Structure 1
Amino acid sequence: MILGIDVGGTHTDSVLMNNRKIIRKSKVLTDKENILKSVLMATEAVAKPEDIKNLQRIVLSTTLTTNAVVQNQLDPVGLVVMNGPGVSPKDLPLYDKANYIAGYMSHRGIEAEAPDRSELAELKEKFKKDKINRFAIVGKFSTRNPVHEQEVDAWLDDIAEHASQSHQLSGSLNFPRRIATTYLNEAVWGLQRKLADQLKTYMDKLGVKVPLYILKADGGTIEVEASRETPVQTILSGPAATIMGVLPYVSPEKDSISVDIGGTTTDIALFADGVPLLEPQGITIEDHKTSVRGLLTHSIGVGGDSHVRVEDGVLHLGPERLGAAMAFGGPVPTPTDALIVLGIADIGDRDKAMEAMKQLAAELKKTPEEVANQVVDLACTLIADKIRTMLAEINSKPVYTIHELLEGRQIEPKEILVVGGPAPYMAKRLGEMMDCPVQVPNDSDVINASGAATARTTVELNIVADTEAQVLSIAEEGVQQEISKRFTLDDVIALGTEKLIRKAREAGARDEDIVVEVADSQVFNVVRGYSTMGKNMRVRLQVKPGLIKDESN
């Protein structure tokens, strides 16, 4: 049995699953001040004591780190950047927060300039004075040779509560994205540590020893203890959970759209021939362009509880949520109230919902029913417009799925899968506006929890082999080893596959769910004068994102 839990901003959803089928499901209110309480309540709502004894894994998706970034509730971080020549600090992200110091590697991982010890000493005193004890350390070519990042980390060790080194978070050469990634990782580290501590207490209270995972942005899972060091991977966990939950319902031969309508936002994702699209360089959140591998999703501030109001005689919806619908005791009119008045949704207090629409009707000089129709139309129009904008943007550039680059591919959706609490009530109207068939999957109200529950563990490795220098580097592990001049691309892939499988097992993956694929490989000749002196080979390997195989219990 598997327990899946989605800790959302409004509700915490839970599902108990067996053989990828939901046995029980539940929704409880999220207590933002006490996540442990919410998770325990969600567990007790679906799992009896005898069920807990038979659990094989527990998986959570959470908006915790995402909300911290969106709301700018980030811890102070000492950002140390070794940018070297060729790029102005003002052209780099987080310029106003960074501390720039000497030291850089060449593009081949050879030391070009050592860090300045006196400069490091001054910086250390500055951090002590400012009471900064968490650090993000980034060097331009550290993925080719991490020694400088390691040296700076060691220099700050006696004043550091924690430090993040960029090469451990991403094997990408993209320097600006690694800066943003490393900064965010450290800025949410304390929050993730607190969550991990609470989840340890949660497991102690359950009295079981089974793997406990958190969903990552790429739709894969990571064990909670491992997430302490890489919390940035859990940003956009919630939208990824939706995609994994929808995956069993997506037609493999069709392009599709998934629309997850929540209380505050609507998350939109696209599928090419049944395969989710990927952010090829990394996810972007609140203008932070990161190197975090993630599924491609777009959000819009439209949800069942979005604030509906009249301004200058015009109806407006969202993006803020001021509380529940008036039908549930909330303070302002919402689309949920409109759905209740129209008789589409048989929930809540209809009299209170009618009062909500009457407030708007008085300002617009229309009947409550007319306004309710207008509210639902406006919500669906905003979502449909966002889908069209997203499609136009994606079809203007190369399309990447979680498995491959689709050169010249145009995404032309033939179906829309609508999930979330308001899904059964808004799907038809949305389909009419998009002129596209719609489907509301079974148990769409808890699709995030089921998606988290059934996601595979995913890991990746970036490897660079230089046969002239006779050195092979594995960026994420910060290691280098000697190789022969006769080392081939097949040798790189074979060695990387062995290490990736080991890494996946350490992350909690079962052997039957480890599917290794070469995500990218490049070979360049190293030329001196008129002679080829060796080869430079670059390989990225990944455990393919997807769903776990059926459980036997």
Structure 2
Amino acid sequence: MILAIDVGGTHADGVLLFENQGNCRLQVGRKEKKAVGKNGLRYTVTELLKELLENIDFENSDSQLKRVVISTTLPTNLLAQKTVKNVGLMLIPGPGAAPERSFYGDENIVLEGFIDHRGKEVKKLSQQQVVNAAEKFKASEIKNIAIAGKFSCRNPRQEQQARDWLQCSSKFNFDSIIPGHLSAPVLNFPRRAATSCCSAAIAAEQRHFSEEVEKIVRERAGEMTEIKFLKSDGGTMSKEQLKREPVKAVNSGPAASIMGIRASMSDDYSSRTFVTLDIGGTTTDIGLFVEGEPVFEKKGIEVNNMSTSIKGLFSRSVPLGGDSCIKIKKGEIKIGPERTGPPAALGGDSLTPIDALVFLYQKKESPFISEAESKMNIQIGENAFEMKDWDIERSRKALQRAAENLAPAVLARAGDEFVLVESAVRDSEDKAALLIIDKFTAGISRRINDILKELAEKPVYTVKELLKDVKIEPELILGMGGPARDFLPLVAEKINLEYQLVPHAEVANAIGAGCTRPTRKINVRVDTRRGEYVIPELGENGKLEGNISENWPERKAKEVLREVYPRKNPEIEITRKESFPTVSGFRTTGNITEITAQVKPDIIGKIVDSGADGNA
């Protein structure tokens, strides 16, 4: 069995999957959804585990819980809502381009050390400068430190020195200190600085989250169960790696949704181009498949308009969710980016898009275009929501207050975008609800169009290859998430695409996490001048026997990875290859090559049942 949990800003979803080893198929045994409320994360995840594992006999060999996989949108949501600040960035740029291009911290200080492009220390780092910078950050009440050197991927010595000096000093007690070479071990100084800042911003939260999750799993499932956390590229990592490289969990929630679609879609979609939409309570995540394969960010994903070195599946988060806070400013509707709590109908203090939706539904009136409703065979009304759980009067009052503050010209636009029965637009709260739903779905639709324009202007990679001369023209939208059943048809209508809900749409993220293939990576560093190689993960230091071929480091990395990976014949990819000569006395004396090989992220099997939500 595999247990998977996806923790979002609003809900935590869990599934229990049963594997059929013979044909690489999985079946959803149990599924649960819990609101992440005032009782906190520990209570929510504990309740999920309790219900998913209830009455399971772990002594039975057929009921062994082999693995727990966790994905979370928490870091993505924190960054998307711009609530994470308080990062001090120490830059070690050396000579060259202006360091201001890499000022991504809330405060930025340039240090004078320098490592050159070969990894040689040209100018030593000053301990006093580092301490002075830290004192300035402390005076500004900065809690998180990022350290980025221009060529630290070639030699991390100065980043490590700065970190060690700060950790060993009794003057400072920072929540996190992140050296850039761990977060971004490839060339590109601005991306390393941005990535380090993102990593420092979320490190403390991620550390607490992983420790809580491990404690809960151990209490419920024992010490032998493997615990993995999803990465942005659709692979997995251990708790120890998450602590070292917390930024790799950014976009793990969107990655889970994309892997969920891979696991759920039928072979009919294997050559189609489509948009994926995961509508949550806090954000909506948009992805893209081209000819049946997910688009991949080869250089690094974009976070808050910053280019990073975090390799991942292509996804863009827009801060619009079903629970997004709605305010009226200068007579206009403003949705998000923050979520202040549940919808008013569930006791929250703020009006949300969900309030607008349930208010219209309880009157058995829908904003859906009648022709589209007939053509797409939508289920509307009590089937969409358990109406008994909602205090519709609270939604009505919240909508009424909003309508009173809307400009008359804005209120008069209600209904323009929809073909409605005559009685639908009757009261001001009806009009406010329609305007909210229209603005919400229009915001998502515009973001989809912006993404398609963005991709039309740059090279596009899938997980398999660089796409050459491919015109990206999506045929449909595949949707998931709790509110997707109700908002998806309107989004699709606005951009003139067909749509389909994926099976088990309400827990598809958790399914994606559970279906993900466990990954492992190996780094090999070869120095031909010294005649030695190092594999840090295994603590292995070896001697080279005579001259080696140019591709020996790559072959060695793959060979070792096959030996340590538990499954036979893993699909291995090279994710990093750096090579540069060593020079002495004006002549080349050898070569240093660094290789990173990892088991390629993918799914371990397809879901065999279609679920009740769709037939993707």
Q: In the alignment, what sits opposite 2:603?
A: 547
The letter of the residue matching 1:403 is K
Shift of 1:172: 0.7
Shift of 1:35: 1.5
Q: In the alignment, what sits opposite 1:178?
A: 192
> 1:308-341 deviations in whole A, cap 9, x for unaligned?
5665665554444444334334445433334332
CA contact (8 A) 1:308 1:315 kept: yes
Change in Cα spacing, 1:373 to 1:544, as seen in structure 2 (3 Å) is: same
Q: In the alignment, what sits opposite 1:90?
A: 100
Counterpart mapping for 1:299-318 below 5 A: 299-308=317-326, 314-318=332-336
Q: In the alignment, what sits opposite 1:517?
A: 573
Shift of 1:494: 0.8
2:226 matches 1:211: yes
Q: In the alignment, what sits opposite 2:248?
A: 233
Q: Given the two structures, how large is their TM-score scaled by the length of structure 2? A: 0.76
2:257 matches 1:242: yes
Change in Cα spacing, 1:401 to 1:113, as seen in structure 2 (3 Å) is: same
Distance 2:606 2:553 in 1: 33
Q: In the alignment, what sits opposite 1:35?
A: 41
Shift of 1:393: 0.3
Shift of 1:262: 1.4
Change in Cα spacing, 1:75 to 1:417, as seen in structure 2 (3 Å) is: closer
Distance 2:48 2:181 in 1: 37
> 1:153-206 deviations in whole A, cap 9, x for unaligned?
444452277643332333211122222323433443332332233223213321
CA contact (8 A) 1:266 1:303 kept: yes
Shift of 1:541: 3.1
2:422 matches 1:422: no
Percent identical residues: 33
> 1:32-90 deviations in whole A, cap 9, x for unaligned?
66321111011123221426663111111123333444556658666443221113332
Change in Cα spacing, 1:150 to 1:317, as seen in structure 2 (3 Å) is: closer
Aligned pair count reads 546
The letter of the residue matching 2:152 is S
2:498 matches 1:488: no
The one of 62, 69, 72 aligned to 1:59: 69
Distance 2:337 2:166 in 1: 43
CA contact (8 A) 1:79 1:98 kept: yes
CA contact (8 A) 1:5 1:13 kept: yes
Distance 1:314 1:135 in 2: 39
Distance 2:538 2:164 in 1: 17
CA contact (8 A) 1:398 1:408 kept: no
Q: Structure 2: give runs of 5+ residues left out of the alignment.
A: 20-25, 365-379, 413-424, 608-616
Distance 1:427 1:70 in 2: 21
Distance 1:252 1:152 in 2: 49
> 1:78-108 deviations in whole A, cap 9, x for unaligned?
6443221113332322366344333322212
Distance 1:198 1:306 in 2: 27
2:53 matches 1:47: yes
The one of 107, 114, 139 aligned to 1:104: 114
CA contact (8 A) 2:88 2:105 kept: no
The one of 465, 473, 488 aligned to 1:412: 473
CA contact (8 A) 2:301 2:312 kept: yes
**Paired residue secondary structure (2:237):** strand
Over aligned residue pairs, what C-alpha RMSD do you find? 3.9
Distance 2:275 2:457 in 1: 17
CA contact (8 A) 1:143 1:478 kept: no
Shift of 1:547: 1.2
The letter of the residue matching 1:440 is L
Q: In the alignment, what sits opposite 2:418?
A: none
Q: In the alignment, what sits opposite 1:325?
A: 343
**Paired residue secondary structure (2:56):** helix
Distance 2:156 2:341 in 1: 48
The letter of the residue matching 2:11 is H
Distance 1:96 1:370 in 2: 42
Distance 2:532 2:194 in 1: 28
Change in Cα spacing, 1:430 to 1:51, as seen in structure 2 (3 Å) is: farther
> 1:225-276 deviations in whole A, cap 9, x for unaligned?
3322221211222222211112223411011111111123211101122222
The letter of the residue matching 1:113 is K
The letter of the residue matching 1:253 is S
- 452-461 or 488-497: bigger deviation: 452-461
Shift of 1:397: 0.3
CA contact (8 A) 2:479 2:488 kept: yes
Change in Cα spacing, 1:494 to 1:421, as seen in structure 2 (3 Å) is: same
Counterpart mapping for 1:96-495 below 5 A: 97-116=107-126, 119=129, 136-159=146-169, 163-209=177-223, 210-250=225-265, 251-308=269-326, 314-340=332-358, 341-342=360-361, 343=364, 344-346=380-382, 347=385, 348=387, 349=390, 351-352=392-393, 353=395, 364=411, 366-368=425-427, 372-460=433-521, 486-495=547-556
Shift of 1:549: 4.4
- 480-489 or 330-339: bigger deviation: 480-489
Distance 1:408 1:241 in 2: 29
CA contact (8 A) 1:145 1:478 kept: no
CA contact (8 A) 2:77 2:282 kept: no
Q: Given the two structures, how large is their TM-score scaled by the length of structure 1? A: 0.84
**Paired residue secondary structure (1:87):** coil
CA contact (8 A) 1:105 1:141 kept: yes
Shift of 1:217: 1.6
CA contact (8 A) 2:104 2:194 kept: yes
